[in-house]
Amino acid sequence: MPESNLIQPDPWSDIVMGNTAIVRAMAVSGTRVVSAYPGSPTPEIAEAIARIPAGERPFYFEFSTNEKVATEVAFGASINGHLSCVFFKSVGLNVAADTFVQLSLMELVGGMVVVMGDDPGCNSSQNEQDNRHLARLCYTPIWEPMDPQEVHDMYLEAAAWSQKMRMPVILRLSTHVCHAKMRVHSAAFPPAPQDDTPRFDPAAGPYLPITRLVAPLKRRALEKLERTREKAETTPFLKVLPGAPGPSSGPPGARRGVITAGLPTASLLEVLEGVHGGPDVLRLGLVHPLPERAVADFLRSHDEVKILEELDDFLEQGICRVAYREGLSCRVRGKEDLEEWIGEYTPPKVRGILHAAWPDLIPAAVPPAPAAVPPGTAPSAVAPSARAPQMCPGCGHRSAFHAIAQALAPEDITVADIGCHTLGFLPPYHMGQVLLCMGASCGIAAGLSLFQKSRRVVAFLGDSTFFHAGIPGVINALFNRHDFTLIVMENGTTAMTGHQAHAGSGENFNGPTKALSIQDLLVSLGATVRVVDTYSQGKLTQLVREANEAGGFQVVIARHPCMLAHMRRETKKPGYVKRQVRILADKCDQRHVCVKKFGCPSFFLEPGGAVHVNADLCIGDGSCLQTCPSKAIAPPAAVPLDGPSVASAPPEET
């Protein structure tokens, strides 16, 4: 789409994903400040923002160092009178929680929308946490759209309500809603002129939740939430969808219904297509606070109601409470199987749930044929019937893990962190036996090292995560003199979520900036630091051994640029020549170190044991050369379009 289309004031229509539709809504609503920390399923929001030329953007945007800071930036903008938005992924709310729990106590004069990308199904997260619970904890309303059009429309309604009530609101997206595509329509809007007048007024608060003020602030937050309950009853997204007419296939006179919201609504409607005598559907738009009158009326007019919701029984609890208070005889059916607590509510899953509840009404799904594993793909212990996730060809983390493995004893303990290098726990590296969340590796390693005499503890930490949440753990290790080795995997970007810049990248979302040196920062704190390029595998092995033998808190910075980002830049340059390695068959003795220990996906085995180079994957980085004990990998050479060329003997290790 043309870059300016998202913000043109004229009526707008395009086929876009939910993450793009929300940017149009930001422009229409007059949002002035947007902050974020990248994390799936929401980073494409920033990609859509990036397509708008910097001079034309109607709002300020930044990637902050973590979700807590991003939330504080949006909060500060709001109390200065500007409509703000912060977005992050599901577990990002954990990081932001210390700030987030205070927001409802505050008078947000400009309004503030928290866009939360929850992740049922764990598509890119370490858990399936249901953040609706935190909204209840914090007296914060939740709008929950089912498709990209509703992402746009609900943002507008949520932002307007936030401004009116001066309260935070949540727009809760899920992975499928973020990434689904459909034609989205948006009305014309008058561009609001940028007003830079400072409007922060301490008297509008108070903005200090000290002991004597907390009760009045909480009372005000609860009053706002009760007024929002009235909004939940009148929102246009609250709908009763009558079931398709047809003869009842249930018990005589039975009236069946379903209460649902968000993505499960879309899946439910797909499952019910063509079902005669199907259940009525009460579709919620505002899921917290619950529209209790509408729920009671729906329960009162049905004999049996199924609650269809992903993850936890959040809606079920509230609906059962309504039924009990009203003394209703309707049978409320919530989660009846452990599997209903797990995973995304895609149409096949919804069909299975409804069939289990009403087998007379919903036929069972036909099980799909098992997917075949592509040829040349080795099954993994984690996913025996699917292609295992892998680090990219040329990834510096692969060279690092291959080298570090040679410096460790089998009984040593390795602690992982969040990032591309998390994949090190997979075969053939087996690096990272423990993982919790971003920045936790140093604290975990410190605890593991206590009373540990015979096993060395090694922790891994990415450079983006270092700035996000890793620094406190480093300081703690120095302050308390813990005994472990930290390996900082520095690749110059936030690679896992799409190559966003971080504080060490030398640029931010809006342009060049001073790069903060991890090495200089660690040295200034008093840490002993060793630095090496990961492609220098022999040296990296040596430095890790030295660090482990020295004892105490030691740091090794294993540095190499992200090769995926590097190759994307290189292939766009004029005169780019593709290079690849090849196998020297006369030298290969089939020890298969390149496949079984180094594990580059460019190599795979022929049925007879010969090693083959996949011409589509090999980028010719040459990091594999030093791994072959028989020197059977020829160095990178230019490759014509019709296949690999002959290469000379491999060079010595770099």
> Rounded to the nearest 5°, which phi and psi values hold at 41?
-100, 25
pLDDT at 248: 45
Q: How many Cβ atoms sit within 10 Å of the Cβ of residue 358? A: 20
pLDDT at 250: 47
pLDDT at 495: 85
Domains 5-230 and 396-566 share a fold: yes
Determine how β-strand 485-490 pairs with β-strand 554-559: parallel
pLDDT at 506: 87
Q: CATH fold of 5-230, please?
A: Rossmann fold (3.40.50)
pLDDT at 642: 45
User: What is the secondary structure of 298-310 as a DSSP string?
Assistant: HHHT-SEEEEE-S
Determine how β-strand 633-638 pairs with β-strand 579-583: antiparallel
Distance from the Cα of residue 605 to its chain's centroid: 34
3-state SS class at 586: coil
Two tokens at 372? 């075949």
* 540-574: pLDDT as tens digits: 999 999 999 999 999 999 999 999 988 999 889 99
Distance from the Cα of residue 449 to its chain's centroid: 31
- CATH 3.40.50.920, applies to 239-357: yes
> How many alpha carbons lie under 13 Å from residue 16 in its C-beta half-sphere?
27
Q: How many Cβ atoms sit within 10 Å of the Cβ of residue 360? A: 12
Q: CATH fold of 577-638, please?
A: Alpha-Beta Plaits (3.30.70)
User: What is the secondary structure of 507-560 as a DSSP string?
Assistant: EETTEE-PPPPHHHHHHHHT-EEEEEETT-HHHHHHHHHHHHHH-SSEEEEEE-
3-state SS class at 204: helix
Listed in sequence order, the residues at least 6 apart from 568 whose beta carbon sits closer than 8 Å to its beta carbon are none
Which regions of the chain are under pLDDT 70?
A: 1-4, 244-254, 368-388, 640-654
Match domain 396-566 to its CATH number in 3.40.50.970, 1.10.15.40, 3.40.50.720, 3.90.550.10.
Answer: 3.40.50.970
Q: Where are the domains of the chain?
A: 5-230, 239-357, 396-566, 577-638
User: Is the distance from CB of 132 to CB of 105 less than 8 angstroms?
Assistant: no
Closest CA to 440 of 191, 108, 167, 94: 94
Q: What percent of the chain has pLDDT over 90?
A: 75
Listed in sequence order, the residues at least 6 apart from 288 whose beta carbon sits closer than 8 Å to its beta carbon are 132, 135, 136, 140, 141, 142, 314
pLDDT at 653: 39
d(CA 457, CA 4): 52
Give the containing element (helix H, strand E) for 646: none
d(CA 259, CA 334): 10
pLDDT at 649: 32
pLDDT at 55: 87
